[in-house]
């Protein structure tokens, strides 16, 4: 019996765990304590292409985001992108920009990378470098933005809002606008990985987030640049109607997007729940079905104070379960 294939809007593929920065806010789980029970390593070129090919065929997906770690540290990155280009897949690259010189920018744009997501953590060099853990990071990312824009490529600036830089959002948006960014992502600090070790110094208060959103709203209106709050902010903490020029993301389970690790596993997180399943062999619809039922059963037992924040997740789970059963 031939079952219909699920449809994904986007596949997020972590091509490597290696990174040339040491961001103190990094939420990647492999940047946490070495005792963290998390697999480490990555597939070789042949197995990576095999995995991507399988995922694309089984999900009818035509957009892939390549992330890491730092993707540009992977020697076969251009080969991976060429593989996707041959399949007419749109590609977004998430990078810290340190290796995105003129030559690399040209190679990536020529191979069809349509969007570059680059961090811009402050309008002040010393703040950006301190958060990145590397001197010269601020100069490098601005040069990367210029290199991409000179080739008519598209850039999104990612601002990670921590206690150390959250007051800089307005000036940072203005700088991103000056360098031709197509938009800005206002990402609240998401504790995890190395970031768990720096909670006291990085985690902003609710009031600080509210003040920053007011500044972001003003910047979006003044410069005409879209600002997206992609990391969910609980709607019970802020009044979304106060920020008509900002867009807000909600739980990832409501969006047909599949995040994949460098060795071919898939992660889906809801609140503190983490599900892993390898999809290098079984059909991807098995993942949808197992995850949907698992998440649904876990959400039923959330404490009452978390019910409001989990509402969108529950709605998404219902949709996910129906989609899985249909496929």
**Pairwise CA distance, residues 82 & 86, whole Å:** 6
Q: Which of 17, 10, 8 is nearest to 263 (CA)?
A: 17
- The reported pLDDT for the residue numbered 321 is 37
Buried b (16+ CB within 10 A) or exposed e, 218-243: ebbeebebebbbbbbbeeeebeeeeb
Is residue 223 a contact partner of residue 173, using CB atoms and an 8 Å limit? yes
Query: pLDDT at position 251, please?
Result: 62
Positions of E strands within the chain: 10-14, 63-67, 90-94, 113-119, 155-161, 183-188, 227-229, 246-248, 257-260, 265-270, 273-278
CB distance 4 to 327 below 8 Å: yes
State how many domains the chain has.
1
Residue 162 within a domain: yes
Tell me if 249 sits within 8 A of 257, measured CB to CB: no
In a domain, residue 4? The reply is no
Following CA atoms 227, 233, 234, 235 in sequence, which dihedral angle do they give, to the nearest 10 degrees?
A: -10
In a domain, 318, yes or no: no
Q: Which residue range is the domain that position 88 belongs to?
A: 10-289
Tokens representing residue 203 in the block: 């985690």
58 belongs to a structural domain: yes
3-state secondary structure (DSSP) of residue 281: coil
Assigned domain for 178 exists: yes
In a domain, 150, yes or no: yes
Tokens of residue 140, six digits: 């490098």
What pLDDT does 102 receive? 98
294 in a structural domain: no
CATH (domain of 157) = 3.20.20.70
> What pLDDT sits at residue 205?
96
CA distance 273 to 270: 5
Task: Establish if 109 belongs to a structural domain.
Answer: yes
Torsion of Cα atoms, 116 then 122 then 128 then 132, to 10° = -50
The C-alpha atoms of residue 208 and residue 317 are separated, in whole angstroms, by 32
* Chunked mean pLDDT (size 10), the chain, 327 residues: 66 92 89 64 90 88 92 98 97 98 98 98 99 98 98 98 98 99 96 90 96 98 96 89 92 52 48 35 52 47 40 36 38
The 3-class secondary structure across 189-224, one letter per residue, is CCCCHHHHHHHHHHCCCHHHHHHHHHHHHHHHHHHC
Measured over the CA atoms of residue 12, residue 17, residue 23 and residue 28, the dihedral's sign is positive
Taking the CB of residue 270, how many other CB atoms lie within 10 A of it? Answer: 22
């Amino acid at each position: 019996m031939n079952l219909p294939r699920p449809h994904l809007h986007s596949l997020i593929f972590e091509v490597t765990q290696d990174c040339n920065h040491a961001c103190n806010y990094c939420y990647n789980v492999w940047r946490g304590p070495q005792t963290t029970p998390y697999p480490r390593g990555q597939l070789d070129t042949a197995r990576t292409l095999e995995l991507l090919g399988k995922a694309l065929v089984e999900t009818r997906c035509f957009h892939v985001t390549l992330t890491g770690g730092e993707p540009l540290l992977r020697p076969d990155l251009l080969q991976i992108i060429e593989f996707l280009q041959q399949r007419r897949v749109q590609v977004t690259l998430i990078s810290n920009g340190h290796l995105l010189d003129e030559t690399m920018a040209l190679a990536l744009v020529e191979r069809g990378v349509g969007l570059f997501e680059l961090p811009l953590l402050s309008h002040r060099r010393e703040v950006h470098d301190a958060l990145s853990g590397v001197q010269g990071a601020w100069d490098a990312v601005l040069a990367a933005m210029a290199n991409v824009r000179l080739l008519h490529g598209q850039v999104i600036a990612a601002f990670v809002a921590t206690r150390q830089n959250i007051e800089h959002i307005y000036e940072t948006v203005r700088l991103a606008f000056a360098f031709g960014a197509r938009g800005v992502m206002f990402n609240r600090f998401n504790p995890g990985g190395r970031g768990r070790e720096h909670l006291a110094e990085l985690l902003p208060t609710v009031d600080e987030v509210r003040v920053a959103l007011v500044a972001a709203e003003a910047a979006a209106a003044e410069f005409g640049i879209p600002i997206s709050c992609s990391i969910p902010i609980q709607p019970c903490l802020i009044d979304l109607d106060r920020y008509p020029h900002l867009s807000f993301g909600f739980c990832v389970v409501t969006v047909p997007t599949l995040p994949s690790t460098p060795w071919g596993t898939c992660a889906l997180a809801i609140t503190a729940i983490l599900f892993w399943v390898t999809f290098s062999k079984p059909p991807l619809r098995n993942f949808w079905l197992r995850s949907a039922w698992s998440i649904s059963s876990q959400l039923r037992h959330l404490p009452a104070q978390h019910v409001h924040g989990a509402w969108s997740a529950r709605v998404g789970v219902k949709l996910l379960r129906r989609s899985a059963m249909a496929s």
